[in-house]
Amino acid sequence: MIELIARELRLALRHGAESMAALLFFVITGTLFAFGAGPDPAVLSHIAPGVVWVTALLAALLPLERLFGPDFEDGTLDLLLLSGWPAYAIAAAKTTVHWLTTGLPLLIIAGPLAIMLRLPAASLPLLLVSLLPGTLIFSLLGTLAAALTTGARRGAMLMPLITLPLMIPSLIFGTAAAESPQPAAPLYMLFAMLLAALPLAPLGAGLALRAAAE
């Protein structure tokens, strides 16, 4: 598993432009929200958690097309499946690398972006705590959607249609956790969804990869 993750990390670093594009999209989109809402600090601080969550969700979608597409096209996916690797392990490795190269950087940049949007300093730790399971959920569900659309015609168009409805609950609870004076319940829901997605998303993605390879 470590060898597989290391391989995927080398490939991701070799094509680092996709991850950098996701981070730039995150920053630029958040800045555009600030320009559109105006300079009123009260307005910006009120919308800051929602802006950070929405832009993080959209940015996490950008690298998904390359998760399985190149491996499927050049036959690498078939070799991985024939080499004895369980399909769910391949999906889990892809999920881990997606989070390390996209979700973790988004989590790090979210702090400065939220400060720029005038989020109160007392609310910043709660926003970051809610984003931790949120970005993991985005990677898990994104990998599942990427596997489901592997080999499909116009898979790039189908992927957001599959992914966005699955991610909306985490977006709702994540924003509520960052804005609510009593964030315990939304945070519990976020971690419950993460615990459900951890085993189910790689298993579902593995089945989809087997189907695509056949």
Q: What is the DSSP string of 170-201?
A: HHHHHHHHHH-SS-HHHHHHHHHHHHHHHHHH
For residue 134, is pLDDT > 90?
yes
The span from the CA of 89 to the CA of 95, in Å, is 10
Supply the range of the domain harboring residue 106: 2-213
Token pair, residue 98, equals 């997606």
Find all residues with CB under 8 Å of 89, minimum gap 6, and list them: 1, 4, 202, 206
The span from the CA of 212 to the CA of 208, in Å, is 6
Q: Mean pLDDT throughout 40-49?
A: 86
Q: Mean pLDDT throughout 46-55?
A: 92
Which has the closest alpha carbon to 134: 79, 85, 178, 69?
178
Q: Mean pLDDT throughout 87-103?
A: 91
Any idea which residue has 């997606």 for tokens?
98
124-149 in b/e form (b: 16+ CB < 10 A) is: bebbbbbbbbbbbbbbbbbbbbbbbb
> For the segment 5-37, what is each residue's pLDDT rounded down to a tens digit?
888 888 878 777 777 888 999 999 998 988 888
Residue 58's CB is within 10 A of a number of other CB atoms, namely: 17
- Please state the domain count of the chain: 1
The span from the CA of 66 to the CA of 44, in Å, is 34
Half-sphere exposure in the Cβ direction for 54 (13 Å, CA): 11
pTM of the full structure: 0.91
Which has the closest alpha carbon to 135: 69, 86, 91, 197?
197
Q: Mean pLDDT throughout 160-185?
A: 89
Token pair, residue 112, equals 């400065």
152 against 65, higher pLDDT? 65
Q: According to the per-residue pLDDT averaged within each range, which of 31-35, 42-46, 104-108, 157-161 is highest?
A: 104-108
